Amino acid sequence: MVGPPSPLSFPTDYPVKVVGRPEDGFRARVHSIVLRHAPALDAERVTERPSANGKYVSISYVLVAESRAQIEALIAELQACDGVMMLL
């Protein structure tokens, strides 16, 4: 089944924010997933911010998305990633 046409035109800058607990390996797991789907990611377009109490961390990426399928695959893999609590 084909979904509705995307309101985005590709390639486009696409922001992704991943929130989770700053446990061992969390950042590495998330980063490896993002790099698998966006291997040309510019490190300067990655930011990290702890929550006020340090209980959570948000990692923000701005990647160049080439297609809707690429975005959907990235989101699906991040949702299945251990430790990911929220995606924005």
List pLDDT tens digits, range 63-79. 999 999 999 999 999 99
Q: In the chain, where are the structural domains located?
A: 22-87
Ramachandran area for residue 71 (φ above 0: left; ψ -120 to 50: alpha; else beta): alpha
> How large a percentage of the chain has pLDDT more than 70?
93
Q: What is the pLDDT of residues 26-36, one digit of tens each?
A: 999 999 999 99
At 6, the pLDDT band (50, 70, 90 cuts) reads low
Q: What is the mean pLDDT of residues 43-62?
A: 98
pTM of the model: 0.89
CA dihedral 65, 71, 75, 77 (to 10 degrees): -90
Phi and psi torsions of 8, nearest 5°: -90, 150
